[in-house]
Amino acid sequence: MKVLLADDNQERADAVARRLSDAGIVEIVRVEPGQRLIDIVEAAKPDVLIVDMSRPDRDSLESIREVSAQAPIVLFVDRDDPGFMQDAIDAGVSSYNLMGSSIPDVKPIAQAAVAIFRRYRKVAEDLEKAENKLGERDIVQKAKARLMKERGMTEPQAHKYLRQTAMNQGKRIVDIAWNLLGGAGKES
Amino acid sequence: MATALTIGLLRLTDAAPVIVAYEHGLFAAHGVDVRLSVEPSWANVADKLTYGRLQAAVMLPPLAFAVSLGLRGAGTPLIVPMALSLGGNTVTVSCALAEALAPETGMDALAIGARLRAYRAGMDRPLRFAVVHSFSTHNLLLKYWLAASGLAQPADVEISVIPPAETVDALATGRIDGFCAGAPWGAVAAHAGVGRPLLPSTAIWSNHPEKCLAVSKAWADANPTALAGMMTALLEAARFCDAQGNAEEVAGILAQDRYLALDPAVIRDVLPTFFAGAANFPWKSHAGWFLQEMARWGLLPTEADRGAALGIYRPDLLRAVAEPAGISMPIGDTKQEGAHAGHWTVKAAQAPIQMGGDRFCDGAVFEF
């Protein structure tokens, strides 16, 4: 069983490689930063491919049937297990079964990768929560929508109104928006 | 509170109606609680639609068929209740190839294609072009033009898939001779000095359909009110994006770091058509042409049920939301693609609609 690992996050890739190696996978090939995923897939001919979903070159994999003379069959390892596939997407990892190995042989590999990716994802999410940027933007959007609906403003007018009021009062736009919504925006 | 949904999109100018609707609060104004998810690949969009992490997406029509028919791993039924843009792609080639072909201003696509064929005849290897995805409008339009120009694939031209952000580097290093991609990538390559636009995709098919709105059928069936709200907001945003004098603002919104993260000047000049000429109408004849071309190039299994695939396009749903919004939509579901060289008028529910031409570069007419 040969596993190709495409993940530019070196620390995370090391962790996945260690886990696979502990599970007895001997052949682990890494895509190094700057290398083209499709080239390495065609040269290394792995049985299984583990790919970081944030890679833009994942689209090239979907052309394998078109460009490759050997025409390996690309199957998502987990296509018949929607629950596991959702876990994998949430963790940010995608896996391919390239040479048609049996699912029982391949699935533990995908599961191990998902477990590691999930651990890294949690760290990233905690940071995002702390920053709370998304929440602020939503509050501003809701305030604008209310100004447009209730006071007949256009979006640029609503935006200008919020910005001008914020400047006049020496407050942040999100604070003005928050006041305008009477605090009603936060729990929804 | 409103029904929540997440719309997926890529960093492309033709995501403008969705981004503008969000930034202008139009979704909220129509009672829909929308999140946007900027995705790095079409594969992500397709996977997340399949497994319920996205309810809707700015989509390539051929990929919408591929997901619905399960042509790329597991799929899920989708509907296409509206189109989002016409045109907007460019065939860009390396500076060396552009100099060799030296197309004159106003030269048509077939004449340029003939020069490309002559150039190929003097090469000891096939030309190498790139597209962004196999199931893309770019791939089908590029293949159509090359074949119409007498260039065989892959003997004369090899087509590979590379992400648009890599095209600049691929042109600069000579890995590819050209590519067909959506805006702003042609302009980005030109600004970087590594490529030149050879022809717009509209020279292959005038006013060709480009992106569409794809929606999970299960979600749409369960949330008809939210679907209508989302579509109404998108129609309003599409009209705004197309209106004279708004390009600057639209480019400014798209240019932000959380969307395209590019210079607004690059975006402003390459905005496609979002509203005019019934741009939002999901013509069944557009769907029929895509399916025909997918079959032609082996991207559609021969046993696939084309009749069922056509049912993915839902012009009836667009008419139902356009009418109360006072927006006129065509009465018929199909038109004769390729039969209109210039402007024409289509019969519509309220007022007739001024349409642009829909000519193919080889003069073919697609009979639905």
pLDDT in tens, B328-365: 999 999 999 999 999 999 999 889 999 999 999 999 99
pLDDT above 70 (res A34): yes
pLDDT above 90 (res B71): no
B33 touches chain A (CB under 8 A): yes
Average pLDDT, whole number, for chain B? Answer: 95
Asked if A63 lies within 8 A of B161 by C-beta distance, the reply is yes
What value does the mean pLDDT take over residues B30-39? 96
- Residue B90 is predicted with a pLDDT of 96
pLDDT digits (tens, 9 = 90+) for B204-218: 999 999 999 999 999
Average pLDDT, whole number, for chain A? Answer: 82
What value does the mean pLDDT take over residues B161-174? 90
Asked if A58 lies within 8 A of B43 by C-beta distance, the reply is yes
Asked if A56 lies within 8 A of B133 by C-beta distance, the reply is no
B29 touches chain A (CB under 8 A): yes
Chain A environment of B28 (Cβ under 8 Å):
141-142, 144-145
Q: Write down the ipTM of this complex.
A: 0.89
Q: Assign 3-class secondary structure to chain A.
A: CEEEEECCCHHHHHHHHHHHHHCCCCEEEECCCCCCHHHHHHHHCCCEEEEECCCHHHHHHHHHHHHCCCCCCCEECCCCCHHHHHHHHHHCEEEEECCCCCHHHHHHHHHHHHHHHHHHHHHHHHHHHHHCHHHHHHHHHHHHHHHHHHHCCCHHHHHHHHHHHHHHHCCCHHHHHHHHCCCCCCCC
- Residue A132 is predicted with a pLDDT of 60
Asked if A62 lies within 8 A of B161 by C-beta distance, the reply is yes
Query: Across A7-11, A83-87, A155-159, B238-242, which has the greatest mean pLDDT?
Result: B238-242
- Residue A165 is predicted with a pLDDT of 81
Asked if A76 lies within 8 A of B74 by C-beta distance, the reply is yes
- Residue A129 is predicted with a pLDDT of 64
What value does the mean pLDDT take over residues B310-337? 97
Nearest CA in chain A to B74: A79
Let me know: does A107 contact A14? Beta carbons within 8 Å. no
Q: How far is B69 from chain A (nearest CA, A)?
A: 14
What value does the mean pLDDT take over residues B265-283? 94
What value does the mean pLDDT take over residues B99-119? 95
**A134 band by pLDDT with thresholds 50, 70 and 90:** low
Task: Kindly report whether the global pTM for this prediction surpasses the value 0.95.
Answer: no
What value does the mean pLDDT take over residues B140-161? 97
A contact set with B (CB within 8 A): 36, 38, 53-63, 66-67, 74-76, 79-80, 82, 85-86, 89-90, 94, 141-142, 144-145, 148-149, 155-156, 158, 188
CB nearest to B73's CB, from A38, A57, A76: A76
Domains, chain A, ranges and CATH? 2-104 (3.40.50.2300), 129-180 (1.10.10.10)
- Residue B24 is predicted with a pLDDT of 97
Nearest CA in chain B to A97: B73
pLDDT digits (tens, 9 = 90+) for B284-299: 999 999 999 999 999 9
